[in-house]
């Protein structure tokens, strides 16, 4: 055994330094591996907020795939609706705490200031926000048609909008057979136009085309409309009105039951989803 394991002094020194090199390299390897793990953990911790936003947007995308999102007043977001929109519990609680002080948010910017939602989530849900018209002091007023006395063109006379046929309506530049049919169907659903402004409510009919149409057609004979008593009608009866969706009709009935009745039409503006911008039209069909 001696010839194989007997080493000189120089050989023993070489083996010793070799061991030191091996131990040093092992130490460097384990140290760098630990640093990499700590760095990854740090990056993951810093991205928790981003991951929460991503999860919120994913939930919102799932909602879009399963159910249509209707315009709503963000002041009345419930816990469930807020969760489905992608808001966190803390963000929903901030909104509810703010509402407990009997204050309302009047813009998407103010909504973000109160709830502290992220910019990405705000940009996704804010297009569905609908605030009452009276709260939008800087909002451009709704374009309304102002009747004029000299409405005839080339000696033609004004014809009744409530008796105009599809062929007659297509004589207006910008109204084809499709739009003319849509106007007649909308008129039938209303039971007849009560005011000229209701022509603006026909889907797809541009304001400038409405202006041209009203040069030839106006409400000359108003139909007899049976008005709906808002304090006694059922949800189904209220929903028969073109301007009010069935879910909003249910909310009106719940609000009426909670308050013991509706005293003024202005109270309807506080109901989530109510089309406040069309309150002047809706009042034509309601009784208190």
Give the model's pLDDT for residue 241: 87
Identify which of 271, 249, 272 has the alpha carbon closest to the alpha carbon of residue 259: 271
The 10s digit of each residue's pLDDT in 208-226 is: 999 999 999 999 998 888 8
pLDDT digits (tens, 9 = 90+) for 26-78: 888 877 776 666 656 555 555 666 777 777 777 666 655 555 677 888 888 88
Pairing of strands 217-218, 228-229: unpaired
With a cut of 50, say whether residue 155 has pLDDT above it: no
For range 141-158, the mean pLDDT: 48
**Res. 270: pLDDT tops 60:** yes
Query: Which of the two residues, 14 and 220, has the higher pLDDT score?
Result: 220
Closest CA to 199 of 150, 144, 153, 159: 144
pLDDT at 183: 93
pLDDT surpasses 70 at 227: yes
Q: How far apart are CA 244 and CA 123, in angstroms?
A: 27
**Could you tell me the pTM of the whole model?**
0.45
162-190 pLDDT per residue, tens: 999 999 999 999 899 999 999 999 999 88
Residue with tokens 């703010």: 98
């Amino acid at each position: 055994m001696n010839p194989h394991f007997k080493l000189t002094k120089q050989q023993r020194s070489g083996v010793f330094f070799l061991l030191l090199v091996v131990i040093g390299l092992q130490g460097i390897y384990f140290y760098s591996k630990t640093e990499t793990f700590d760095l990854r953990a740090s990056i993951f911790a810093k991205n928790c907020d981003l991951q929460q936003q991503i999860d919120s947007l994913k939930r919102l995308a799932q909602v879009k795939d399963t159910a249509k999102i209707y315009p709503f007043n963000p002041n009345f977001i419930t816990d469930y609706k807020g969760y489905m929109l992608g808001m966190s519990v803390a963000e929903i609680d901030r909104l509810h705490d703010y509402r407990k002080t009997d204050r309302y948010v009047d813009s998407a910017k103010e909504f973000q200031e109160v709830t502290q939602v992220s910019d990405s989530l705000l940009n996704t849900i804010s297009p569905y926000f609908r605030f009452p018209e009276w709260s939008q002091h800087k909002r451009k007023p709704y374009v309304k048609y102002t009747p004029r006395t000299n409405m005839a063109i080339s000696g033609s006379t004004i014809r009744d909008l409530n008796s105009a046929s599809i062929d007659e309506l297509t004589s207006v530049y910008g109204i084809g057979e499709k739009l003319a049919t849509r106007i007649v169907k909308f008129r039938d659903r209303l039971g007849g136009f009560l005011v000229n402004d209701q022509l603006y409510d026909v889907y797809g009919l541009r304001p400038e085309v409405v202006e041209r149409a009203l040069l030839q057609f106006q409400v000359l004979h108003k139909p007899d409309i049976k008005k709906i008593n808002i304090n006694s009608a059922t949800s189904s009866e209220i929903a028969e009105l073109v301007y009010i969706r069935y879910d909003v009709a249910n909310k009106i009935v719940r609000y009426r039951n909670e308050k013991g009745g509706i005293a003024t039409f202005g109270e309807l503006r506080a109901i989530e989803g109510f089309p406040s911008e069309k309150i002047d039209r809706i009042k034509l069909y309601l009784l208190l």
